[in-house]
Structure 1
């Protein structure tokens, strides 16, 4: 007869660690009262509070200037965790500056000194620097800038609209020693030296379209002082064009709603940014008059008119320059 004896087996597991545990089960290393997180480490070796790595590279959590070292750590100098390149993402609490560093050269030995170069910085005021430590603009770049969106090309110019949206536009460049271009009406590229052009034409008839022209950025104003408006012969007009991806496009034709015949509105024109100006002779006493407008949203709106307070007759040298 077989007899089986059952004996209790007691397993004892001992957990040993250097730290503290409070009721909330927070773990502290170097502190008896961890309260800021489930794991709180107080103290460092050099500037390193923790380092994580396996058989090769790793990351280091650093204090003083809080940061994360990528295959690098600071202990009496920046050093490599393992052979290879390294970097650092750090922040200066005193100035609020965030910076990114990378190593320009690979390190052959773990623990060897690693030289880092600052590549990008973000200041507390939001200025971003690429290749510059103290950017003075929202984007401050030290070095070449490349913008490729599929529309770039040789000889093109990066331009902006009134909202600040940039786009590549066809443009011409002046080359020292190059031949002077010439052509015929409607074909400016006769001898091949002018590659970008666009003839603009006004209304049919005798109107002296183009007698006065002014350019400002992507805007142009062209006067036609002899153009008939309604039944007013030679009252005159001024046309405003805008340069976009399709070339120069007519935005709006300006006229004086109170104008009369033979005033030659648009005899002298000027444009600067969002403001335009036309001057002309006011009938019947031929006193000069200036007409101002500005660009609001998609329309140009009349602002004010100024007259000759000295009550002097119009002088061609003033108006027809």
Structure 2
């Protein structure tokens, strides 16, 4: 499988399939602005053929940016991607490190922040993906956003973490480095390491990181929001609960979820989406978001939606 590339073209473009949402830069290449977040493939564990088919469906519709992690399904998701990709595919596969599976814990993940754990996780990703190089590896920090927090020996200095990832980049195992669940101060500290993307919780109803989004835009860093519709945990607000979102959706004849995703694409040119699903029809609906146009009045109404914090701590 091809997980990196320097050409601005891709398999999808060469084959004539339009890339959903248009294109944007990521790690020195051009990718579809709407990619596919593979986490929910774990729901298809009992039907591996369906999981592989869903990935192929995304690729056949022009997606050339896949987001995954070894801790998604304890390697199952990576193995599905490995099976779905063909030697002729030119796909940017992005993975992340900073946590390990913990099936018996209160949540299915545990922090894995120490440098030796980060290296081991990269190696695990390489093996399960069946490649010798991953286009981008995101360091999942545990500083902010919903989810885990680091404690004890899992509280590790960012510089030490970047040092091991930089060495692995120099070794050719990583094409580029990104950050996830990071503070603005952490991003500024990391800029000398040539950060190519940031993945933070961000949506129309949770815009705590607006200043960081602006910093990424100024620095040429892709902004790849996770939980793009909010609502991942009970205490988090949901985009689809907002009256303004429903009003715009009804006027356009689309779903509130599609409006929430379309707003992100319109909000900043460096946004790359990675919505996930285990359902083929839902996949098609997500990819169709790229064709939605929001006029000035719709954008103004969506911009006026109240932003509430998404910082929900777990663990």
TM-score range, shorter chain: under 0.3
Considering fraction of residues, name the structure with more helix.
Answer: 2
Higher relative contact order (CA 8 A, sep 6+): 2
**Larger-gyration structure (1/2):** 1
Bigger proportion of residues as strand: 1
What's the TM-score, normalizing by structure 1?
0.21
